[in-house]
Amino acid sequence: MALKLWSGAEARGRAEDTLVHSDALYNLARYLTHDPSDAEDLVQETYERALRAWNDFAPGTNVKAWLFRILRNAFITRYRHDVRHPAPAPYDTTEQSPGQGAEGRSGRTEVEPEQMRRLVSSDIEAALRTLSDDARTVILLDVEGFTESEVAVVLGCAVGTVKSRLNRARAALRLELADYAARERP
């Protein structure tokens, strides 16, 4: 896609308003795509879409939530495109409910806080990656500091839906963490 620059008196403000969120967008993109190059492409596509849609952006709207919404939509579009045109390393977008994987396995118990404290970064990242894209997204948006209302804007759903999705996603993550905590036991 040819790059088309923002120009004019508002360019500086627009650039600063949006670029300040590039790290946060890239972080979500990394967890969605599992690949640094794909994450870069996804973030760049997000900014290209934002550039084209800027005239539709209503002043006063939360820029960060708007950008995250664009990124998520770009990811979904890209995934759907890749389903029709499979790539060598497809994304792991699945339509299972957040806790589906966890519920399907019997004999799993909740992790204890003491066990959680022994987990290391790679365990948490690995456990998070086992969740569905939707579950991972809602957890990462929550960690990013978005309110439930803002998450609802990003996901395009009701606040009540965000609450239930987040509760289910966190429950599923706790079960996954329990597995990692069990492996850590001497």
Partner 1 sequence: MTCEDVQNRLREFSRHLLDPAAHAEMDAHLQGCAACSSAERLEHSLDELLEQRLPRYDAPTSLKRRLGLLAGRPATSRREPTRWARAIAPAMAAGIALFVVGGLVQRSTGRSELASLTSEAVNDHLRVLASEHPLDVESGGSHQVKPWFEGKLDFAPVVPAVEGSELRLRGGSVGYVFDRKAAVLVYGLRRHVVTLLVFRPDGLDWPDRDTRQIGPVRGHEMSARGFNVVLWRSGGLAYALVSDVNAEELAQNATRFAAATVQEQGP
Interface positions with partner 1 (CB under 8 A) = 3, 5-7, 11-12, 14-16, 18-20, 22-23, 25-27, 30-31, 36, 39-40, 43-44, 47-48, 51, 110-113, 116-117, 119-122, 124-125, 128, 139, 143, 145-147, 163, 166-167, 170, 173-174, 177
CB 102 within 8 A of CB 59: no
d(CA 41, CA 44): 5
Nearer to partner 1, 20 or 83 (CB): 20
Q: Please report how close the Cβ of residue 90 comes to partner 1 at its closest, in angstroms.
A: 20
Q: Please report how close the Cβ of residue 120 comes to partner 1 at its closest, in angstroms.
A: 7
**For the purposes of burial, counting CB atoms within 10 Å of the CB of 96, is it exposed (0-12), middle (13-18) or buried (19 or more)?**
middle
Q: Please report how close the Cβ of residue 150 comes to partner 1 at its closest, in angstroms.
A: 9
Q: Please report how close the Cβ of residue 15 comes to partner 1 at its closest, in angstroms.
A: 4
Q: Please report how close the Cβ of residue 107 comes to partner 1 at its closest, in angstroms.
A: 19
CB 11 within 8 A of CB 53: no
Token pair 């957040």: residue: 98
d(CA 127, CA 25): 21
Nearer to partner 1, 35 or 82 (CB): 35
d(CA 146, CA 72): 15
For residues 65, 66, 71, 77, the Cα torsion angle rounded to the nearest 10 degrees is 130
Nearer to partner 1, 69 or 127 (CB): 127
